[in-house]
Amino acid sequence: MGTPRKAAPRPGLATATAARPAPAPPRAGQPRRGRAVAQVTPARARGSLAPARDPDVRVLRRAFGLNRPEFGRLLGYSERMLAMWETDGRKPDAVARRRYHELQRLFEELSRIIRPKHIPEWLDTPNRSFRGLKPVEVIERGRIDRLWQMIYESKYGIAT
């Protein structure tokens, strides 16, 4: 199979297009006609890096130096499911997307108080603040709110 051929232009089409005046740019706050308007999500309004499209699991996983088993543990999905999302083009379901975005926000905040290269080690180290549990175990048990509380207290200097 060779290269696909381009369709030949129809006569009169070029002149009709050229005769039309260019549309005026939309006023501030008004959507463009005929185009989809991107919705600003609350996460984007706060300056977060949360994507508006399906999450790219590999990008976040690699950005924080996590392997598939570690990241799967945090998300609550198997390594095999992560591999399918990363390589087969399958899309995560709504629950996985919500968890992904929550982890993404968590990692963004953690990277403000811990160097990103140290986050994987921190996640796997027992912590007195969590009664000797590792942060990854706290997340697995559904108590991610305890990590958010720790981040809040660290950011604002609240003694515990």
Residue-range domain boundaries for the chain: 48-156
Q: Report pLDDT digits (tens) over 96-111.
A: 999 999 999 999 999 9
Residues 136, 123 contacting (CB under 8 angstroms): yes
Q: Report pLDDT digits (tens) over 144-160.
A: 999 999 999 888 887 66
Residue 64: its pLDDT value, please? Answer: 82
CA 119, 121, 124, 126 torsion-angle sign: negative
The angle formed by the CA atoms of residues 86, 90 and 94, to the nearest 5 degrees, is 105
> The whole model's pTM is what?
0.61
